[in-house]
Amino acid sequence: MEADFVIIGSGSAGSALAYRLSENGKHSVIVIEYGGTDIGPFIQMPAALSFPMNMATYDWGFASEPEPHLGGRSLVTPRGKVIGGSSSINGMVYVRGHARDFDHWAEVGARGWAYADVLPYFKRMENSHGGEEGWRGTDGPLHVQRGSRSNPLFHAFVEAGKQAGFEVTEDYNGSKQEGFGAMEQTIYRGRRWSAANAYLKPALKRQNVSLVRALARRIVIENQRATGVEIQRGSKIETIKARREVVISASSINSPKLLMLSGIGPAAHLKQHGIEVIADRPGVGQNLQDHLEVYIQQECVQPITLYSKLNLFSKARIGAEWLFFKTGDGATNHFESTAFLRSKPGVEYPDIQYHFLPVAIRYDGKAAAESHGFQTHVGPMRSKSRGSVALRSADPLEKPKIVFNYMSHEDDWAEFRHCVRLTREIFGQHAFDPYRGREIQPGESVQTDEEIDDFIRAHAESAFHPCGTARMGAKDDPFAVVDPECRVIGVEGLRVADSSIFPRITNGNLNAPSIMTGEKAADHILGVEPLPRSNQEPWINPHWQVSDR
């Protein structure tokens, strides 16, 4: 129960860390994971994505406190409690984030994390099938593909965007994010290509890597240095020793919780729970961010949507085809077209994301409409609202208190109203004429600002992209939790590497930047020279100051 490096969490960043820290064979690595196996069709079959996210077996079962600006609704906050972490229960959408997101990180104190610094790590991790040449990696562990887009609605969506005057992009993960195009997925040979499949399982084949199934209770700190992790297996409490470092990669919910349980966090909050203060870091658990979205749903007058496949017979047939051949409707997440748009003139790079689906359905898999339909998930990317994660008690088994504070900033409302109206404009283009029936949601009656606000308050859902709760920044920044090498400020031998260190949320889904964080953190931990900076310049719309398209 001793290793050079002890990693808490086998998720997107933790799996990448385990793979890279053990790669040269010189160091031993122990990965601590509370969840169980990822073997089985619910996780490995891409189309079954709504199941693991709602299963207590695979999910920590977190939920927010009643959200004050969403009519007191409590929103679920799924986090993966399974080998592969949230990469085993997510929607398998692959988005790096925009170049300017990372430039912003560097500007606010995360030196060495600008786009030029992180692009080489994105390339190192990727095995891109069909991406833009020169901008994408082709021999990394993480397979990234596009869907077949065989349903004509995927093309209608892109064509409608073009007709509305927006850009089209061949690869939003390449030089040009802005525009309508094909969506990328972490699926390989018909299977979910999670961080566990890409990184952890190959790493576990090495002699120097082992996996311990246990709950991490707290970091053991002696004389301001992390020396191990206190774990619980059943009723037994033990300690795993770290000869060199402990790395927390436990998610933006569990990482701050673990820091606080270990005496690192806002002093007054820790004292309130009787926890001895080892490092007073007021930023721990603060700066919580997420993406919120609404579903805009339209009836389809042609029977070409997935609605006809929601019956038990079709599901059985799809399941059988996937089981035997790893092909067919079971081998995709059905998110195959997307768009990244700017909301108004003066916005330099996209701040709206679309996920398009050829069915009207909820994320939890329940049919939202009793008819053929299509929908898009849409929401602003850079909300100014900030929330927090706090302890309920000093008991490691108790769930933390999560308040996102969604829609607490006035700008969020204006941005969301724009998203709803813009989507109607896109669905109203000629490309959708052969398919468009009535609007299912929000519905024709929802038109004024007040009516749209009521719809948002009642129906906005999390896109499940929480981050920011152990922010990376300059050493002298009182609200930074880790420095630009992911070291916890005020404690030796301890790092955090996952989405909790993001200073600000990136554009799109967070799996890709979380894996990149693990990749880059590994080089900092090993003390090797970072990959050489890139000199590639991303495309920025030449009309950004005067037009939204």
| Residue 29 annotated as part of some ligand binding site | yes
The annotation status of 408 as a binding-site residue, yes or no, is no
Per-residue CA distances from 257 to 57, 115, 239, 465, 493 (Å): 21, 29, 18, 17, 18
CA atoms within 13 A on the CB side of 269: 26
DSSP result, 94-114 = -----HHHHHHHHHTT-TT-S
Residue partners of 110: CB distance under 8 A and separation at least 6: 472, 473, 484, 503
On whether 228 is known to bind a ligand per the annotation, the reply is no
Give me the count of residues in the chain.
Answer: 549
Q: Say which of 377, 465, 524, 543 is annotated catalytic.
A: 465
- Give 139-204 as a 3 state SS string: CCCEEEEECCCCCHHHHHHHHHHHHCCCCECCCCCCCCCCEEEECEECEECCEECCHHHHHHHHHH
Ligand-binding annotation for 323, yes or no, is no
Q: Is residue 2 within a helix (H) or strand (E), and if so which, with residue range?
A: strand 2-8
- Judge whether 183 is annotated as a binding position: no
Assign 126 to helix, strand or coil: strand
User: CA-to-CA distance for 397 and 97, rounded, in angstroms?
Assistant: 34
11 annotated binding-site participant: yes
Residue 318 known to bind ligand: no
- 168 is known to lie in a ligand binding site: no
Cα distances (angstroms) measured from residue 98 to each of 71, 227, 383: 32, 37, 15
Residue 413's contacts (CB-CB under 8 Å, 6 or more residues apart) are 407, 453, 456
Q: Is 414 annotated as a binding residue?
A: no
Q: Is 465 a catalytic residue?
A: yes
Residue 428 assigned ligand-binding role: no
Q: Is 347 annotated as a binding residue?
A: no
| 365, 383 contact by CB (below 8 A) | no
According to the annotation, is 14 in a ligand binding site? yes
26 marked ligand binding residue:
yes
Query: Is 308 marked as a binding-site residue?
Result: no
Check whether 13 is labelled as a binding-site residue: yes
Q: How far apart are CA 337 and CA 326, in angstroms?
A: 21
Q: Is residue 48 annotated as involved in ligand binding?
A: no
Residue 76 CA: distances (Å) to CA of 64, 138, 456, 462, 516: 6, 36, 16, 8, 26
- Tokens 């152990």 locate to 470
Q: Is 374 annotated as a binding residue?
A: no
Amino acid at position 471, single letter: R
For residues 302, 364, 184, 159, the Cα torsion angle rounded to the nearest 10 degrees is: 30
What single string gives the DSSP state of each residue in 301-350? SSS-SGGGG-SHHHHHHHHHHHHHHS-GGGGS-S--EEEEE-SSTT--S-
4 annotated ligand binder: yes
From CA 522, how far away is CA 549, in angstroms rounded? 39
The answer to the question of whether 219 is labelled as a binding residue is no
496 annotated to a ligand binding site: no
Is residue 488 annotated as involved in ligand binding? no
Q: Is 294 annotated as a binding residue?
A: no
Q: Is 23 annotated as a binding residue?
A: yes
7 known ligand binder: yes
Q: Is 389 annotated as belonging to a binding site?
A: no
Confirm whether residue 30 is marked as ligand binding: yes
Single-letter amino acid code for the residue at 293: E
In the block, residue with structure tokens 């468009």 = 436
On whether 91 is known to bind a ligand per the annotation, the reply is yes
Beta strands in 20-61 (DSSP E): 29-33
**173 among the known binding-site residues?**
no
> How many CB atoms lie under 10 A from the CB of residue 346?
11
DSSP string, 477-508: -TT-SB-TT-BBTT-BTEEE-SGGG-SSPPSS
Cα separation, 225 vs 247, whole angstroms:
13
Please enumerate, by residue number, every residue annotated as part of a binding site.
4-33, 82, 90-93
Q: Among all residues, which ones are annotated catalytic?
A: 465
Please enumerate, by residue number, every residue annotated as part of a binding site for FAD.
4-33, 82, 90-93
